[in-house]
Amino acid sequence: MLKMRRKDRRLFRLSWRRFMPEGESLGWALALGATLAFSLSTPFARLAIDQGVDPTTMLVLRFGIAIVLLVGTLQLTAPDKLRVNRSGWLIALLAGLENGIGVLCFFWSLTRLDASIATMIFTLNPLLVLGLLALRGEKLTYRHLVRISLGLSGIFLVLGPAGQIDWIGVLLVVITIICIAVELVVIQWYLQPYDSRSVTLYVLSGMSTTIFGYWLWQGAEWNNPGWPAWLYIGLLGVLCTYFAWWAIFTGVRYLGSGQVAMLVPLETLLTIIWSFMLLGERFTLWQYIGTGLILLSTILAIRRLGQGRKRLLLAGTPALVRFLRRRDNDR
């Protein structure tokens, strides 16, 4: 009887594993989860700012919560992942320091722009990634110019032909686009051999360092947020940072950044839906037309990124080979 029960449990575990996602399926599941979490980030942040929370203070609390949770999780489940070799943590930390500037710029832009408008501008990120790939030997064609033209035309319509827009807010989002594009390319080229949990920890640590340094430079002012603001900050820290960044880095590891970028239009669409539902924002007819042009240019850019995925992997091969050689020599 006991043997039969053990056999039944073993068969149950084997049958359950058949339904567990693995490989690319796991990558897509995590990428979709990260997309949903990231799409809530901008509306939640805008809700916290509307409660009177300073954007920098909000980011200090958000990333502080995420790093504490991440370190605690690794300490319990995989303490060896808290340490990586010098080149790995240095590259990840520098990528985080650089993107910390982008995060600050984006959330400060929300004090000047509607969440939906800032999100639509940020959707041009794949076009910049294509531009960075050109620095690695990718040829620019007339199709690339068409994508850029569609994107810029869409931005013109979204921002408003009358020109009634806060251009400082737009500039802050543009800086964000540059920072996140550089970070993703660095991760794709130089951090592929490393565990995604370690990469997440050190990248977030770099971002937190930049944000905390700017908070100190501002004078480290502290005003205790009310309970609604704490709720939004908690969701930002746990769902939109702790889970989302780990999931997206893991997804890039399984799928590559070109495949993960396919979800950018979905994230944009979800963010606009949440902004309409939670913040009461609305678009004009011209802004809807501009949104369509931006999404079209993004989809075309993503298709181009997908076609160049093999070239991206080959471009990252020298770094991978150097890493494997150093690891063998250390042994």
pLDDT at 212: 94
Question: Which stretch of 152-156, 160-164, 169-173, 291-295 has the lowest confidence by average pLDDT?
Answer: 160-164
pLDDT at 294: 73
pLDDT at 163: 52
pLDDT at 96: 92
pLDDT tens digits for range 285-301 = 877 887 787 777 767 66
pLDDT at 18: 46
Asked if residue 117 has pLDDT above 70, the reply is yes
pLDDT at 319: 45
Per mean pLDDT, which of 123-127, 153-157, 287-291, 298-302 is the most reliable?
Answer: 287-291
pLDDT tens digits for range 79-102 = 888 888 888 888 999 999 999 999
Question: In this structure, what token pair is assigned to residue 84?
Answer: 């990586």
Distance of alpha carbon 199 from alpha carbon 81, whole angstroms: 9
Instruction: Compute CA distances 223 → 49, 57, 80, 83, whole Å.
Output: 13, 9, 38, 35
Q: Which residues contact 317 (CB under 8 A, 6 or more apart)?
A: none
Asked if residue 21 has pLDDT above 60, the reply is no
- The average pLDDT across 149-177 equals 75
Higher pLDDT, 322 or 215: 215
Question: In this structure, what token pair is assigned to residue 89?
Answer: 């943590």
Higher pLDDT, 10 or 68: 68
Q: What is the pTM of this model?
A: 0.70
CB atoms within 10 A of CB 282: 11
Higher pLDDT, 313 or 171: 171
Scanning the chain, the segments in alpha helix (DSSP H) are: 2-17, 23-50, 55-77, 86-109, 115-122, 125-134, 142-159, 167-190, 196-218, 227-237, 244-255, 257-260, 264-274, 285-307, 309-330
Report whether 64 contacts 230 (CB < 8 A).
Answer: no
Taking the domains of the chain in order of start, what are their residue ranges? 55-326
- The average pLDDT across 251-259 equals 71
Asked if residue 15 has pLDDT above 60, the reply is no
Nearest CA to 158 among 119, 199, 193, 198? 119
pLDDT at 28: 82
